[in-house]
Structure 1
Amino acid sequence: MLDAAVNLEGFLDHVPSPTGEPGPLLPVAEEGTRKPLLLFGTDGYWNPRYARSWSAMLESGCRTTHRQIDGATHWVFTDFAQQAPQLQTAGLMTAADRNQLIGPIEPAAARPAVHDQVAAFFARHLRG
C-alpha cells in the first residue's frame, strides 16, 4: 500500500482516440486520493493531456500538492539534467537542443531542485 506518491509530469488519463478525442481520466484524477500526492512539473513543458488531467486532480479537493521547477523542461527529471550540459560542452549537442531537452537550468540547480522537493514531500508524509 502506498502512503504517498510523486508524479513527475506524468499523464493521469488514457491515450486519446485515433480521432483526437481525449481519453478518459484515470480513476485517481476523477475521484482523487486520500493519500498525499505531489504533482511535480516544469515551466517548460505543457500539453493539453497534462493540463486536463492535472487540473482535474488539483480540483478534486484531495491531498494534492503542485510544485514546479522554473527554467526547465520535462527531461530535467532524468539523467539528462546532468548529461546534456556535458554533451553541449563536448560539442555533441547545441545549446538550442539542450534547452529543448532540459531547459536552461544548470545541473548544479537541477539536481537539488528535484531531490529537495521530493525528499521534503516524503519527509512530511511518510512515517519513519
Structure 2
Amino acid sequence: MVLEGYLNHPPQGPGQEGELYPVARFGVDRPLLLLGTDGFIGQAAAKRELESSWAAMLSDGCTRRRQIDRAAHWVFTDYASLAPQLQAAGLMTAEARRALVGAVEPAVSVPRVRHHVRSFFARHLAR
C-alpha cells in the first residue's frame, strides 16, 4: 500500500527525473493500493511517474488506484482531525489548513481513508 508516496528515487539534480523504483518499472506480483489526494503538492511529478509505469503496474490486475477528493497529503495522518480543531480555535488559518489536509471535513476524510485501507486489507490479507 502506498499512501501518496513517490514511485521513483529523488532526482540527481534540478529539472531531472529520478529513476523509477522496480515496482513502477516492472509491475507487481501481489496486490498494491495507491491511495492519493487531489491536492498532493508533488502531483505533477507523481503523475509523470504513474503514466510512465501504469501499463506495467496494471498488467497483472493487482494494482488499484484510489483518490480522496478535496484533500491534501497530511489527511493520512492525525492532522486530518486536528487541523480543523486548530482552525476553529484560531490557532491555524483556513489557508494553512487547506494546505495541510485540504478542505474536506474530518467526518468525511477519516472514514474514507479507513474504508480504503480496511477494504484493501480485508480483501487481500484475510485469506
Same fold (TM over 0.5): yes
User: Which has the larger share of helix?
Assistant: 2
Structure 1 stretches of 5 or more lacking a match? 1-5
Aligned to 1:47: 43
Specify whether residues 25 and 113 from structure 1 end up closer, same or farther in structure 2 by C-alpha distance, changes over 3 A only.
same
Percent of aligned pairs with the same amino acid: 50
Deviation at 1:59? 1.6
Q: Distance in 1 between matches of 2:30 and 2:105?
A: 33
Amino acid at match of 2:54: L
On the 8 A contact 1:58/1:64 being kept in 2, the answer is: no
Q: CA RMSD in A?
A: 1.3
Amino acid at match of 1:85: P
- Return the match for 1:10 from 5, 11, 19: 5
- After TM superposition, the score normalised by the length of structure 2 is 0.90
Deviation at 1:49? 2.6
Deviation at 1:26? 0.5
> Which ranges of 4 or more aligned residues in structure 1 deviate by more than 6 Å?
none
Specify whether residues 19 and 94 from structure 1 end up closer, same or farther in structure 2 by C-alpha distance, changes over 3 A only.
closer
Structure 2 stretches of 5 or more lacking a match? none
